[in-house]
Amino acid sequence: MINIALPKGRLGERVYAMFERAGYECPSIKESNRKLIFENAEKGVRYFWVKPSDVSIYVERGAADIGVAGKDILLEYAPEVYELLDLNIGKCRMAVAGKKDFYDDNQKTLKVATKFVNIAKSYYASKCRDIDIIKLNGSIEIAPILGLSDVIVDIVETGTTLKENDLDVVETIVPISARLIANKASYKFKTEEIEKIVEKMKAQVKFDD
């Protein structure tokens, strides 16, 4: 039996649809109820829905053998897992954004508001830029407007939220998409099953031209 952690929400539903097309369907998952764990013994899979940012924790600690997590979460928390496949869905980018008239003159410490402290720190460390990190948990976009920070580091999908708040992308840090991850010990003892899933999922990935 392979335990699979799926991220709750729209992305998770798209991921499950890929598993279904790959031959790992579990009809009970589509019943509308509050259950969080679904099993198809015949196919040897057990799915469970967890908060997207928790998927890597379930996989790292072996409660799930495999799972699907955003690259943003993998970069931020650096879990000890294998990253076996880029599913090429849930695509967006981690970017620096600021007010339209923002100009970084390098003369003072840059105030950066973000949920992704580690990503922001390592990005600016690679540029040797002195920064003051302000950790926020939501509504990051208002930080530069209210003068709390000079810029924000956040996920940008379409850019609509930024535009509506008079912000612009200053630079892209890294492209983000959903990744299939595996627990290291599970991979050692369920190699064949996990590799088979990876191969079948690979066939479902729509690659960009």
Pick 114 or 186: Cβ nearer other proteins: 186
- Cβ 82 to other proteins, closest distance in Å? 4
Please report, to the nearest 10 degrees, the dihedral formed by the alpha carbons of residues 9, 39, 18, 54 taken in order. 40
- Cβ 88 to other proteins, closest distance in Å? 9
Supply 78's token pair.
């650096």
Supply 31's token pair.
């019943």
Pick 99 or 121: Cβ nearer other proteins: 121
- Cβ 103 to other proteins, closest distance in Å? 29
- What is the distance between the alpha carbons of residues 12 and 5, in angstroms, rounded to a whole number? 9
- Cβ 1 to other proteins, closest distance in Å? 14
Which positions touch other proteins (CB under 8 A)?
A: 60-62, 80-86, 182-189, 191
Pick 48 or 151: Cβ nearer other proteins: 48
Residue whose entry in the numeric block shows the structure tokens 């912000």: 167
- Cβ 132 to other proteins, closest distance in Å? 22
The values of phi and psi at residue 62, to 5°, are: 80, 5
Pick 35 or 188: Cβ nearer other proteins: 188
- What is the distance between the alpha carbons of residues 137 and 15, in angstroms, rounded to a whole number? 26
Beta strands 81-86 and 178-183, pairing class: antiparallel
- What is the distance between the alpha carbons of residues 119 and 129, in angstroms, rounded to a whole number? 14
Pick 172 or 191: Cβ nearer other proteins: 191
- What is the distance between the alpha carbons of residues 32 and 21, in angstroms, rounded to a whole number? 20
